[in-house]
Chains A and B, each alone.
Chain A
Amino acid sequence: DGGITQSPKYLFRKEGQNVTLSCEQNLNHDAMYWYRQDPGQGLRLIYYSQIVNDFQKGDIAEGYSVSREKKESFPLTVTSAQKNPTAFYLCASSITGRETQYFGPGTRLLVL
């Protein structure tokens, strides 16, 4: 079955630690996205990529980094510079930027 997978489902970060969230899709989509979701704040765009080896900052990119070395994969690193990383992180992909985005099941990041 085609779809988007995110792992892990829960992730714990220690103070000063970088952590990486995985996002993989087998839909052959060109565009991929990372969102952060906090209670009552809807979805906020962190980074997006429209093609391999290219990505753009979203609305809240500070403290995060991404790479897009393969079409299928768009990992997100939450760096130690992100002082408030506790949130629900959603990855999505679409054929093009204007079309339907398909979402993964999400990763919940918690700080120890």
Chain B
Amino acid sequence: AQSVTQLGSHVSVSEGALVLLRCNYSSSVPPYLFWYVQYPNQGLQLLLKYTTGATLVKGINGFEAEFKKSETSFHLTKPSAHMSDAAEYFCAVSSEYGNKLVFGAGTILRVKS
């Protein structure tokens, strides 16, 4: 079965520093991969997704992620953190039957001034 592991339930960075949120997945079929962001008391918003083609995917708000099949990873990065990036981030993979997404447990990003 598909699964997603997000390393680090909490990540803290200084404003202006690199943001790196880790996501590893397992999948028995070529995966579709997603990163979502959630602000307090709101729904999830899509940051970016990988389906096929170019392995470096650019998303909204300056985020990007690279699909590395050999490492079964899809880490999320942003060169320079902003205070407004403080939120919870979820990685997700499409299920092997293509009928739903499987979400990771989430990583809360804190940005220090």
Contact = CB atoms under 8 A, between A and B. Distances in A.
Contact of A101 (B41, B97, B98, B101): B101
Contact of B43 (A45, A96, A106): A106
B103 A48 contact: no
B72 interface: no
B32 A99 contact: yes
Main secondary structure of the interface of B (DSSP, over half): loop
Nearest to B108: A40
Contacts of B36: 103
Interface in B2-17: 9
Contacts of A42: 90, 103-106
Given A43-B90, A98-B32, A98-B94, A50 B99 contact: yes
Contacts of B97: 97
A50 B100 CA distance: 9
B99 A106 contact: no
B98 A103 contact: no
Given A96-B98, A100-B49, 10 more contacts: A4-B43, A42-B90, A42-B103, A42-B104, A43-B44, A58-B100, A97-B98, A98-B99, A102-B46, A105-B42
Interface of A: 4, 31, 33, 40-43, 45, 48, 50, 56, 58, 88, 90, 92, 96-106, 108
